Structure 1
Amino acid sequence: MMASCVKQLLSCKRFFILVFTPVVLLPLPLLIQTKEASCAYSIILMAVFWCTEVIPLAVTALLPVLLFPMFGILESKKVCMQYLKDTNMLFVGGLIVAVAVEQWNLHKRIALKVLLLVGVRPPLLMLGFMGVTAFLSMWISNTATTAMMVPIVQAVLSQLNDTDHHTSELENSEGRTNPGMELEEKNAMAMTSVQVISNGHMHEASIDTTEREEKKRINKGMMLCVCYAASIGGTATLTGTGPNLVLKGQFTQIFPDNGDILNFASWFGFAFPNMIVMLFMAWMWLQFSFMGFNLKKTWGCGVIKSEKEQAAYNVIREEHRKLGPISYAESSVLLLFTLLVVLWFTRDPGFVKGWATVLFNKDNVEYVTDATVAVFVAVLLFILPATKPKLHCYKKSNSFDIDDLEEEEKESFFSVPLLTWKVVHKKMPWSIVLLLGGGFALAKGSDASGLSHWLGQQMTPLHTIPPWAIAIILSLMIAVFTECASNVATATLFLPILASMAKSIEVNPLYIMIPCTLSTSFAFMLPVATPPNAIVFSYGHLRVSDMVKTGIIMNIIGIICTTIAINSWGRPMFHLEIFPPWANITDGQ
């Protein structure tokens, strides 16, 4: 009876949160009746909706358009302007290029080529998987990278395991459920049947059991390395993951006179070395957890490849062969991608004047930004042809046949472009654009209502605590919080508060905001924490306990690496030892 009541209550959870959360919080604006209280009501309400996901994240992000004008915090036209700012366009342009890379399978060609180079010894294979996944996650979405890499991992593991029955069950379960419990039970029954045959087979069964357990551990390690590398790799570039763009947008909005200290080149210079160190530490931890450090056994020093390893190598080679020679379209996309990265790095490198400063930005006005570059390359993708232009584009004909129109279009000088809007519309995660816009609206409303100033005053006593200690504590807190909430939503909620706190205790805001932004990507412990974890978990090799035990150490590794980075090369890069003049000037208009 009691169990059925609890079950019914849980089924009504969404209804209760949607109805009662606004009612329970309503005394806040009604009794205090200040703009600060009304803004706090809006933020807390959105935080609850974001954490519980009772309505889509993008829909929750639209609430400021409704609540801020209603409470007299900000005019509707000023709220709506926040939803398509420069940072949003940087995100859109970068993602369009990523869609083109996916569309022409360029990412798969890069991945398979690297795996052919590193070989199939388990440690090197894991390093290859992690390196490729991290690199691709720097430019395309973590989810798309993981979805592309995991089937390759699965195919290679199938050859290394050499268990056809086991493999077929995993393939049948792909993307649906976690059959880990069923598989373990079936394997256990198989071991029992072998041991019961006769006493003469006991030793053989024991060896077989040990071998199976070793294979299971390797499978777990190989799967975890992909989702972990996807999360780590996304931190290296400004467009690699949503929280980085939230930081860029919030920082620019709250501190408009910062002199563009945080751009693609400066972020890469700080975050890329940190990503490399963290990726190496993660690889070492996964080696220790699932493979051990027996060099002769795991690295194969002086040992000839086994038949299974050769079969796994052949799988990778066959997949690469199926791609065929690199096409004209792939070459064009690779060229445009390279152009995008070069233009981003050289726009304003910091140590010298960039091309944008010399050619376009005059009188201390920044006309060209990273978003300009991203949109420029994105537009080229819709213009340049997918096939090599043909000079014999004009063909004289005495008759007109409508059935030949399609063929004529293929043979025309200017063929179908590298990217069409239909493809972009299908693959682009438009909800993130609204989510980013909602975050900018919250930051604008917090500043206009005075809530940011009030929060800053409340945090003044933190002045007695060393800044490095504050950064570590907040990073740990956010790393735990992001296990249960969207990383973009987490960054959106916390960054304006952290900016206010940094101003109140007179610490460079980047000293607090950068480590906390990186911590939102440290979602290593739960399958629901981030889509890469969920994708890997669905293949059936892992249990929740496996992910939790390994992920706790991964979170600690992430915090330690980020703390070392921000206190070493981060200090001179962003001048973190001083409280800059621009931090006292905010966008209070």
Structure 2
Amino acid sequence: MPNVRTKVWNIVKDIWSLKPVLLPVLVTLLPLPMVTNSESKATRCGYTVIVMAVLWLTEALPIPVTSLVPIFMLPMLGVSTAKEVSSSYVTDTSMLFLGGLIVAVAVEEWNLHRRIALAILRLVGAQPNLLMLGLMLPTWFLSMWISNTAAAAMMIPIVGAVTSHVKSVVIEGGTENPDDLCLLATKDKDVHVEMQKGERVVLTSVSKKSDEKEKSNDVNSTPKSAQYNRSPSRNSATPDALKMHSKLSKALALSIAYAANTGGIATLTGSPPNLVFKAVIDEAFAQAGKLYDGQEWDSGVNFTSWLLFALPISFLTLILGWLWLQMFFLRCKQSCDCFRKIKSDRDKEVREIIAKEFKALGRITFAECLISILFISLAFLWIFRDPPNIKGWGDFFPKRYVSDSTPVMLIAVLLFVLPAKVPAIFCARKSDEDRYTPLLTWEKTAEKVPWGVIVLLGGGFALAQASGRSGLSKWFGDSLEFFASYNPFVMCLVVSLVVASVTEVTSNTATATLLMPILQELSIAAGMNPIYLMMAAAVACSFAFMLPVATPPSAIVFAHGYLSIPDMASAGLAMNVIAVFILTVGINTWGNLLFNFATIPVIFQEILKNQTLIGPVIEPIESMFNVSKPLV
């Protein structure tokens, strides 16, 4: 019997290994009647959506590869021209994202992010609540500007070193073993983060001796395992002490994932779903404006308006997440009493570890100073391009000529121009010294920029545009018309909860891509400002706190080895509820003040009045099961 089971299991594994071949063929052939028995553009676009949704969800093909499907499928099905589809892959929004990634590469290349993180950690000691906050704040801030994956991968070795040392000095009587500090000495360049499936991550090694290149910005990943150098204990520990240490380790590890995920909410470039939302809403306003008065209208969604709306949500989620982790893992009074001992007995030692690591970075370099200046300048240019109620520097140019991509590309180009150190020319040059070294080289940039994410965004933009212009989104909106009778507050809450649940098991970018056009049409049909539901869904796409497969930061902390899936799920469920609550309150208070959700823009009012659709006239969409009748 065991032999039979083994043989059956081997057959299943053999078949599953052919998933990249079998699944694309099956998902292409099974819904084919939708195409062969219908001339409707909406139906044919629906076929493309089904194929891509299944491939995205199952990851039979790498997610960026699936994102290339619209380039050949939409033109061949007669939904859009090849020129229209291809133009969606290089847009103003994708250039904004690319520029932000290049700036992030420069920050990582010169270790400025590590200096910021250690500087904040120097301000806190070994008290667990402050230590956790000291880890979360730099992770949160850095993930606004650099990859969430890179921010988490940089901070996890620090967590490992801190927990290892706490175990040494508190549980095991203060072992002064230098090997206990090996994790803290591990630089983020030693963290090999291999992305292989969608947006998941594998930490194959975190070793001081590792010479593998970091790939923390890539989009393809599968969580596996992580190996950390740990020295053997000199003394045995009591069960209560081990339990205390385990709780601290879990809390600190999860705090990194939560901070990385929430930090990406705060800025428009911080997370891909934010950019998917901007691209879809900009297209909706532009098309509706052309129908209304022949002009392309501005949606009003830019870096500044997003920051004013999302930063408070991000910060409140961070603080409540910090409090929740303390309550969930450190609620035991006995543990808290033991932790207080750290403050009085060993706080100085932990501070010395962090100070030693900070000192190892050396004095701040010319390159770090220059990048800091460029970084602050970029933030200034973004915020003051089109600030609310006052004139910004964008007003000095013709209307709609400059956007948020303009300053970021200016700064990105300057990174390849400005020197990393004072040029060694004339009498200042030593014989073996390079005369000029730029802050960034293209070789380093090409290696670290996650090109797959850019392709993923492009595929999402192409699919969203085709769904809107073919009428598929309108059909979905009409099918959900019963939902429009609900109170807008209830609709927002339901949408946020559904999106936060879906994004636990699939790519948040793919989720945003599939839902944004539908929510746009649903909002218009319900007589609502489309920004309302779409913005709520975009933010909720970052509320993936429960499973290690949900986001790269979650996969990284899971691979660290201190957490189990039940740990993540039990803590993350409440965290999802907390985050959705903050989002619902925020979008209905200061969000309404910023975007005036109570009033539907006049261009959409005209569409409702005339029953005019954005894009061409829609043909009836037909079912793949009964192609002779329209779907109800």
Q: TM-score, normalised by structure 2?
A: 0.82
Q: Cα–Cα, structure 1 residues 491 and 420, in superposed 2: closer, same or farther, change >3 Å?
A: same
Residue equivalent to 1:544: 565
**Alignment of 1:277 onto 2:316:** yes
**Alignment of 1:368 onto 2:368:** no
Structure 2 residue identity aligned to 1:21? V
Q: Distance in 1 between matches of 2:350 and 2:225?
A: 24
The structure showing larger relative contact order (alpha-carbon pairs under 8 Å, at least 6 residues apart) is 1
CA RMSD of aligned residues (A): 2.8
Residue equivalent to 1:578: 599
Residue equivalent to 1:218: 248
Give the one of 307, 316, 321 matched to 2:354.
316
Structure 2 residue identity aligned to 1:228? Y
Q: Cα–Cα, structure 1 residues 437 and 587, in superposed 2: closer, same or farther, change >3 Å?
A: farther
Q: Distance in 2 between matches of 1:173 and 1:74?
A: 42
Residue equivalent to 2:79: 73
Q: Cα–Cα, structure 1 residues 322 and 587, in superposed 2: closer, same or farther, change >3 Å?
A: farther
* Structure 1 segment 374-453 matched on structure 2, within 5 A: 374-389=408-423, 392=426, 407=433, 410=434, 412=435, 415-453=436-474
1:530, distance to aligned residue in structure 2 (A): 1.0
Q: Distance in 1 between matches of 2:47 and 2:505?
A: 21
Q: Cα–Cα, structure 1 residues 253 and 276, in superposed 2: closer, same or farther, change >3 Å?
A: same
1:27, distance to aligned residue in structure 2 (A): 1.5
- Asked if the contact 1:381/1:417 (under 8 Å) is kept, the reply is yes
Residue equivalent to 2:117: 111
* Structure 1 segment 72-471 matched on structure 2, within 5 A: 72-162=78-168, 174=205, 178=225, 208-256=238-286, 257-292=296-331, 297=336, 305-357=343-395, 359-361=396-398, 365-389=399-423, 392=426, 407=433, 410=434, 412=435, 415-471=436-492
Deviations 1:435-494 (A, max 9, x none): 111111112211222212222222222231011111111211111111111111111111
Q: Cα–Cα, structure 1 residues 391 and 472, in superposed 2: closer, same or farther, change >3 Å?
A: same
- Asked if the contact 2:264/2:271 (under 8 Å) is kept, the reply is yes
Structure 1 residue identity aligned to 2:374? L
- Asked if the contact 2:547/2:569 (under 8 Å) is kept, the reply is yes
- Asked if the contact 1:281/1:557 (under 8 Å) is kept, the reply is yes
- Asked if the contact 1:122/1:299 (under 8 Å) is kept, the reply is no
Q: Cα–Cα, structure 1 residues 581 and 28, in superposed 2: closer, same or farther, change >3 Å?
A: same
**Alignment of 1:519 onto 2:540:** yes
Q: Cα–Cα, structure 1 residues 169 and 110, in superposed 2: closer, same or farther, change >3 Å?
A: closer
Query: What is the percent sequence identity of the aligned residues?
Result: 41
Runs of at least 5 residues in structure 1 that lack an aligned partner in the other structure: 195-204, 396-402
Structure 2 residue identity aligned to 1:491? A
Structure 1 residue identity aligned to 2:358? H
- Asked if the contact 1:159/1:308 (under 8 Å) is kept, the reply is no
Q: Distance in 2 between matches of 1:439 and 1:304?
A: 50
Deviations 1:403-422 (A, max 9, x none): 96x63xx2x3xx21111101
1:583, distance to aligned residue in structure 2 (A): 3.4
Residue equivalent to 1:202: none
Residue equivalent to 1:198: none
**Alignment of 1:483 onto 2:504:** yes
1:52, distance to aligned residue in structure 2 (A): 1.0
1:315, distance to aligned residue in structure 2 (A): 1.4
Q: Distance in 2 between matches of 1:173 and 1:78?
A: 41
Q: Distance in 2 between matches of 1:258 and 1:294?
A: 58
* Secondary structure, counterpart of 1:347 in structure 2: coil
* Structure 1 segment 9-28 matched on structure 2, within 5 A: 9-13=12-16, 14=19, 15-28=21-34
Q: Cα–Cα, structure 1 residues 103 and 394, in superposed 2: closer, same or farther, change >3 Å?
A: closer
- Asked if the contact 1:160/1:309 (under 8 Å) is kept, the reply is no
Q: TM-score, normalised by structure 1?
A: 0.88
1:520, distance to aligned residue in structure 2 (A): 0.9
* Secondary structure, counterpart of 2:506 in structure 1: coil
Structure 1 residue identity aligned to 2:418? L
Q: Distance in 2 between matches of 1:52 and 1:300?
A: 44
Runs of at least 5 residues in structure 2 that lack an aligned partner in the other structure: 187-202, 207-222, 287-295, 608-612, 617-632
Q: Which has the higher helix share?
A: 1
Q: Distance in 2 between matches of 1:482 and 1:24?
A: 26
**Alignment of 1:559 onto 2:562:** no
Structure 2 residue identity aligned to 1:379? V
Q: Distance in 2 between matches of 1:38 and 1:26?
A: 9
Structure 1 residue identity aligned to 2:165? Q
1:253, distance to aligned residue in structure 2 (A): 1.4
Q: Distance in 2 between matches of 1:260 and 1:339?
A: 25
1:393, distance to aligned residue in structure 2 (A): 5.9
